[in-house]
Amino acid sequence: MRHKGTQPQRQSFLSIDCFSVMVTAVKIAEDKQALIVRAYETTGNPAECQLELPLLERSVPLKFTPCEIKTLRIPLDKQEPETEVNMLEMNFFAPTSK
């Protein structure tokens, strides 16, 4: 059945362009301002790939070391950069408070 809207009949929300990286989780961030995506390298080899999010009009280049797990925060605001975060959604490279 065809719809009368302007969007395509089918569209992927997310895709990744290399076979050795698997996306395992996608969720809205706790602050509701970003998407959290978790992925890992599955073959034990380094990998470079593009994560495509057509509905958010985002394309994220990724580099993985062998068996690496990454958790990414992808802001809904396209002006904000993507960042790697830990499993608590805290900036991975932020200094710890003392």
- pLDDT (0 to 100) of residue 4: 78
In the chain the domains, ranked by start, together with CATH numbers, are 19-78 (2.60.40.2220)
Question: CA 18, 29, 22 angle in degrees (round to 5)?
Answer: 20
pTM for the predicted model, two decimal places: 0.80
Angle formed at CA 37 by CA 78 and CA 90, multiple of 5 degrees: 85
Q: pLDDT of 3-53, one tens digit each?
A: 777 777 777 889 999 999 999 999 999 889 999 999 999 999 999 999 999
